[in-house]
Structure 1
Amino acid sequence: MKHPELRKAVLDANFELYESGLVISTFGNVSAIDRTQGLVAIKPSGVSYNAMNAGDIVVTDLDGNIVDGDLRPSSDIDTHLELYKQFRSIGAVVHTHSYFATAWAQSGQPIPAMGTTHADYFNGAIPVTRHLTESEILTDYVRNTGRVIVEALGNNDPMSIPAALVNDHGPFCWGIDAPDAVHNAAMLEAVARIAFHSRQISDENPEISSALLTRHFLRKHGHGATYGQPVRNKRI
């Protein structure tokens, strides 16, 4: 089997995604990229999570040509590839139909940044894409899905808001590697659920202040992060 480390990382992340309860049936996938080789590994289309092994993971180049594997890649492959091409800082992509995030997506509403739980992972509202045009749907639909995600992120650093909602569809998330992307998908579902219930309690809830949003995001991310333990040099 070629590319065993990349395939194993993607297999493990897909298992983690399934076990997290974020996917329905086979509606979800994880991919990861090896930037040095320009290769992407992704879940095969329609294959049960319980039936997969590392050899089933499909490896393609950035144009979607299968480099290794006997199965078809996920039907979302071109969306993943577009994100890798446009967001050079990301190392993995996750797509789910998780319940609350998908509800926001199908409502065509961004997930507002309403508290510090949100701010710890997303430095702003989770954007929702515009509707695809009929022409975009009929021609290169899957790749155009990636393009409207990029459009929705605008000038935001993709690692500061590592998720987007595709209108009428569902969420896509990303991260520095496959475990990070799966974790971001779990946190997206958590903040989507919290925001949903917060709006049920009061539909006049103000969003978090920009100062508190930035303070909480930066305490976990960036060079000045204070959350967790510092990395210490090993003594020899």
Structure 2
Amino acid sequence: MELEQLKQMVVEANKELPRRELVKYSWGNVSAVDRERGIIVIKPVGVPYEELTTENVSVVTLDGKLLGKSWEPSVDLDIHRAIYENFEGVSAIVHTHSTYATVLAQLRRSLVCFGTTHADYFAGDIPCVRELSDDEVVNKYEWNTGMTIVEFFKENKISPEDIPAALTPGHGPFTWGSDVWDAVHKSVVLEEISKMAVHMLCIDKNAQPLKRIVADRHYDRKHGANASFTRDDYGHGMVQR
């Protein structure tokens, strides 16, 4: 893919966030990595979504150095960098402060798989990872935030392809995928299933998760070698403008 095409995709994917009501003001960012070129394209800091263009989107090296006349990148760049560096199959990342997913993050509560909508996209609960230590907040805060996600997945032997999302305590959700549209798609789904879960827990704080056999059946219909739902819109159903 040409760099200009990748920049355009990142611009349009960022603009999709307010269209899908996942952000207010500039509360979120989308990035994509080109591992062959050794670059990350990401939303610039503080630029309203409607003003994003291929001219002002940020392009940085994998170690975070600004390239050319690019605008300053999102303050969350190092969170994205930590995930890219450690999850080799990830090509794009989305961070938002979408209401219901952020409610769960602020409650320090993982998103339990309560129903088949969740199971169609994620092979289990979406974790809320650990709190940062005081030292981690003071030193390399953004990088350490990304590493809490990486560490949780590695310590618990979770595949980032099977659970392409995480909640960071007191902060908000991150999703990732094979391209920017895949990652945005998952953010939309994550917010919707978070909304369902929050409403469920308001009605019954002891609501029970979906039976594992049913959850596995739904996930396996769309994922893996034996998937039968291969023509579904999973990952690429976003309107690309």
Match of residue 200, structure 2, among 198, 201, 216: 198
Structure 2 stretches of 5 or more lacking a match?
233-241
d(CA) in 1 for partners of 2:119, 2:130: 24
After TM superposition, the structure 1 = structure 2 runs for residues 125-204 of structure 1, keeping only pairs within 5 Å, are: 125-153=125-153, 154-204=156-206
In 1, are the aligned partners of 2:59 and 2:70 still within 8 Å (CA)?
no
CA 1:216 to 1:134, structure 2 compared with 1: closer, same or farther past 3 Å? Answer: same
d(CA) in 1 for partners of 2:229, 2:95: 28
Q: CA deviation at 1:148?
A: 0.4
In 2, are the aligned partners of 1:14 and 1:49 still within 8 Å (CA)?
yes
d(CA) in 2 for partners of 1:142, 1:95: 13
1:73 aligns with 73
Deviations 1:66-123 (A, max 9, x none): 1234311000000001000110001100000000000000000001111101101111
After TM superposition, the structure 1 = structure 2 runs for residues 75-114 of structure 1, keeping only pairs within 5 Å, are: 75-114=75-114
Q: CA deviation at 1:223?
A: 1.7
Query: Bigger shift: 60-69 or 221-230?
Result: 221-230
User: Which amino acid in structure 1 is aligned with residue 187 of structure 2?
Assistant: A
d(CA) in 2 for partners of 1:136, 1:113: 30
1:234 aligns with none
Q: CA deviation at 1:18?
A: 2.0
TM-score when normalising by structure 2: 0.92
d(CA) in 2 for partners of 1:18, 1:179: 14
CA 1:209 to 1:69, structure 2 compared with 1: closer, same or farther past 3 Å? Answer: farther
In 1, are the aligned partners of 2:17 and 2:184 still within 8 Å (CA)?
yes
Is 2:220 the partner of 1:218? yes
User: Which amino acid in structure 2 is aligned with residue 164 of structure 1?
Assistant: A
In 2, are the aligned partners of 1:152 and 1:164 still within 8 Å (CA)?
no
User: Which amino acid in structure 2 is aligned with residue 200 of structure 1?
Assistant: C
d(CA) in 1 for partners of 2:55, 2:115: 42
- 1:66 is paired with a residue whose SS is coil
1:233 aligns with none
Structure 1 stretches of 5 or more lacking a match?
231-236
Is 2:36 the partner of 1:39? no
d(CA) in 2 for partners of 1:70, 1:156: 35
d(CA) in 2 for partners of 1:69, 1:15: 22
Root-mean-square deviation (CA), in Å?
1.3
User: Which amino acid in structure 2 is aligned with residue 157 of structure 1?
Assistant: S
Aligned length: 229
Is 2:36 the partner of 1:19? no
Q: CA deviation at 1:187?
A: 0.4
The percent of aligned pairs where both chains have the same amino acid is: 41
TM-score when normalising by structure 1: 0.94
